[in-house]
């Protein structure tokens, strides 16, 4: 974050179309200087393996996902399930969700 040398307000990135460069401008006093860095915003994404888990909400409606008819739900005994392979840093796991719209139970195949 950069601040104006004249009034100490925050500087905002603006495009200088004439000179094809990024400038920083104060919205208070209109002081302008060339940006020291062309990067305006950085978004770092960090995920823990637990956060990579799948959202299983309404997946039983998605007909593009693979299905099996040999899995038996432990909650409702329904035999159809939607499944997805999830790769972690050192292993691959198979997750299933019951295709019964009233159930939605999900489990990890062992």
Determine the Cα–Cα distance for residues 99 and 68; give it in Å rounded to an integer: 9
Spatial contact of 96 and 106, defined as CB atoms under 8 Å apart: yes
Residue 13 is predicted with a pLDDT of: 93
**CA 77-81-83 angle, 5° bins:** 145
Is 90 exceeded by the pLDDT of residue 75?
yes
| Gap between the Cα atoms of 56 and 107, Å rounded | 10
Residues 56-74 have a mean pLDDT of: 87
The percentage of residues in the chain with a pLDDT greater than 70, rounded to a whole number, is 88
Residue 51: predicted pLDDT: 46
Fold type of domain 49-109:
N-terminal domain of TfIIb (2.20.25)
CATH class label, 1-44: mainly beta
Q: One fold for both 1-44 and 49-109?
A: yes
Domain-wise residue ranges, the chain: 1-44, 49-109
20-56 pLDDT per residue, tens: 999 999 999 999 999 998 887 888 776 555 445 566 7
């Amino acid at each position: 974050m950069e601040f104006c040398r004249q009034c100490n307000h925050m500087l905002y990135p603006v495009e200088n179309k004439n000179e094809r460069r990024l400038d920083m401008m104060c919205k208070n006093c209109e002081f302008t200087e060339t940006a020291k860095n062309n990067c305006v915003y950085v978004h770092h994404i960090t995920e823990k393996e637990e956060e990579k888990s799948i959202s299983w909400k309404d997946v039983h409606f998605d007909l593009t996902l693979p299905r099996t008819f040999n899995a038996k739900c432990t909650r409702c005994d329904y035999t159809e399930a939607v499944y997805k392979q999830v790769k972690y840093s050192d292993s691959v796991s198979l997750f299933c969700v019951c295709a019964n719209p009233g159930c939605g139970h999900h489990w990890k195949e062992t």
